[in-house]
Amino acid sequence: MLVLIIVIIAVGYLVSLRIHPLRKCPRCNMSGRHYGSFYTGSYRRCRRCEGRGQLDRVGTQVFYGGTKHTGVFPKK
């Protein structure tokens, strides 16, 4: 019974990765902007997410090879 529950949870996680492969960028909080610390009104594109505000989830990178932060899986 426990093995069945673990399999159902694992399959649910993999399906969730395919439907929602992206997460919000922790550095810019999905704004795509990195604000200056001295001049707080100035900003530049976030280097971590390249201004998109989204990153691949860890499971997306591990199990599916990632989407390069676009949310679209490459065709094989």
Contacts of range 58-66, beta carbons closer than 8 Å, 24 or more positions apart: 59/13, 59/14, 59/17, 60/17, 60/21, 60/22, 63/14, 63/17, 64/17, 64/18, 64/21
Domain of 42 in residue numbering reads as 25-76
Structurally, how many domains does the chain consist of?
1
Identify whether 42 is part of a domain: yes
Identify whether 31 is part of a domain: yes
Whose CA is closest to 62, among 13, 26, 27? Answer: 13
Identify whether 12 is part of a domain: no
Identify whether 16 is part of a domain: no
* pLDDT tier at 75, thresholds 50, 70, 90: confident
What are the tokens at 67?
């989407």
* pLDDT tier at 76, thresholds 50, 70, 90: low
Rg (CA), the chain: 17
**pLDDT on residue 58:** 92
pTM of the model: 0.74
Q: Which tens digit of pLDDT belongs to each residue from 33-59?
A: 888 888 888 888 988 888 899 999 999
